[in-house]
Amino acid sequence: ILKKMTDTEVSVIAGMTFTRGTIEGKTAVLATCGVSKVNAALFTQIMIDHFRPDCILFTGVAGSMDPSVRQMDLVVADRLTFHDVNPHQLEFCFPNQVWFRSDEELTDLIRRNARGSKSGAIITGDQFITSRDQKRQLKKRFPEALAVEMEGCAVAQTCYVNQVPFAVIRCISDLADNKAEDSYDAFEKKAAEKSAGVILKTIGCMK
């Protein structure tokens, strides 16, 4: 995505690099949040406080949580939750949400630019899922989950409390099973490029 950005201006805030520029004729700010929920929440709050975006689009790779979702498939989140936090705590502690729902208009726009994509639930936690047993346990708790990753719901929660529209798209790099690490290494770059391509098309369609 950065290669497609022109007229760039770089800011470093709290050790994170934010690049402001033009993509497809639109002003945008690009950043890589890094791994984990904490980094994702920090990145999102800094983005909101310093750059006042109209919306936030979040992309990257994920592990599959459903037999219908294979490597290199695109998953557009219609809702996200944390798999490593007790739902009771999510419901009764601020901001009192178990699921954080993506902006429908943004999600529809992404899906129109992501042919063959699947739309559904994505779950987030500070774990790289690398065993069938872990995957089975998570699927039992979240039967609706299509993908699992480590940042998306932290972005979603931060956008929710700031009332900023957001959307999340992930490309599947692995099947979150015993071969996940090998699969991730083989598919990460291709998967990231595929989801990035959808983001560029989506930005180009924005008003």
Is a pLDDT exceeding 60 seen at residue 180?
A: no
Residue 23 has pLDDT above 90, yes or no: yes
Helix, strand, coil: what percent of the chain each, to 5? 40, 30, 30
**pLDDT score at 181:** 63
Question: Sorting pLDDT into bands at 50, 70 and 90, what band is 71?
Answer: confident
Which pLDDT score is estimated for 88? 87
Q: For the chain, give the mean pLDDT.
A: 92
How far apart CA 167 and CA 197 sit, in angstroms, is 15
Give the three-class secondary structure for 170: strand
Between 149 and 129, name the one with better pLDDT.
149
- 56-64 vs 6-13, strand pairing mode: unpaired
pLDDT of residue 179: 66
DSSP 107: H
- The pLDDT of residue 184 is 63
